[in-house]
Each structure stands twice: as structure tokens, then as C-alpha cells.
């Protein structure tokens, strides 16, 4: 039934959470311009998604992963099946899955500081400013030695 109506467990997860974006649609747009500047584009995209009121279900899940093995598993399955592989294919360098996961760790850490811990000045910083600040670190994970 899940495959019939949603295609996969991960797509069911997106629908159940009313997830603000579908990686199958979003990642190609982010990757289309190429690897140069991808770190900043990813950071900007995720910050804009999380800042959007539609991003609240994702933020609720993010807040719950530390205390719930089920929530952590749901997020892990989603990220490992829907996000990391799409990014890894585009990287075209050695150890692409590790590179993509490291980039994801930077983004999740940023989300934790901004939306869960509310650490200033990150919590109130302009999203474009944050994307410019963390973009080079994410870019390094994607394109430099890993």
C-alpha cells in the first residue's frame, strides 16, 4: 500500500510530515548550476526552508530526534535515502557519500544552533549572511580532500 500510494517509505515520510520540500524536486535545481557555489546554495536553501512556516514539521522532528529513537530513525532513513544519494551522485569525487554526509552534518548543526538552542547571534542572523558564512565550509566537504 505504501508503494502504491506514496512510492516509498521516504515519500510517505515527506507526506506525513507535510515536509516543506521534496528532495526529488529540490536537489536537481540546487545541483544544476554545478559544484561551484553549491555549499552556499545548499545553506541558503535549507535556511529558507526552515525559516518558512511550512518548515515547522521538520523543525519539530529535529527537536525530537535526540530523545526519540523512532524520530531519529525516521530522519536517518529520509536523509540516507533521499538527500545523501542525490548529493553524492553530483559530487563526482572520492568518497561522495562521506562528503555528502559531512555537508549534512554542518547543516543539521546550524539548524540545531539556530532553531533548537537559539544561540545568538546565529538565531537572529540574516539567512543570506549565514549561508555566506557557512557555505565555504560546506563547499570544502563537497569538493576538497575528504
Considering only residues 79 and 113, tell me which one the structure prediction assigns the higher pLDDT: 113
Sketch the domain layout of the chain as residue ranges: 2-143
Smallest Cα–Cα separation from 133: which of 115, 109, 116, 97?
109
Q: What whole-number distance in Å separates Cα of residue 80 and Cα of residue 27?
A: 14
CATH number among 2.60.40.10, 1.10.357.10, 2.30.110.10, 1.10.3720.10, domain 2-143: 1.10.357.10
List, for residues 35-92, the tens digit of each pLDDT value.
Answer: 999 999 999 999 998 898 887 777 777 888 888 888 788 788 878 888 888 899 888 8
Residue 2: the pLDDT is: 41
Amino acid at each position: 500500500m505504501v508503494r502504491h500510494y506514496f512510492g516509498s517509505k521516504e515519500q510517505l515520510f515527506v507526506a506525513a510530515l507535510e515536509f516543506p520540500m521534496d528532495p526529488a524536486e529540490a536537489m536537481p535545481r540546487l545541483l544544476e548550476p554545478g559544484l561551484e557555489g553549491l555549499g552556499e546554495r545548499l545553506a541558503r536553501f535549507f535556511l529558507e526552508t526552515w525559516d518558512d512556516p511550512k518548515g515547522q514539521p521538520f523543525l519539530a522532528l529535529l527537536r525530537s530526534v535526540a530523545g526519540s529513537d523512532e524520530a531519529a530513525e525516521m530522519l536517518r532513513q529520509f536523509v540516507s535515502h533521499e538527500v545523501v544519494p542525490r548529493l553524492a551522485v553530483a559530487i563526482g569525487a572520492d568518497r561522495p557519500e562521506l562528503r555528502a554526509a559531512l555537508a549534512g552534518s554542518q547543516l543539521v548543526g546550524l539548524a540545531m544552533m539556530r532553531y533548537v538552542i537559539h544561540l545568538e547571534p546565529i538565531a537572529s542572523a540574516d539567512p543570506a549572511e549565514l549561508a555566506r558564512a557557512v557555505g565555504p565550509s560546506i563547499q570544502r566537504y563537497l569538493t576538497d580532500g575528504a
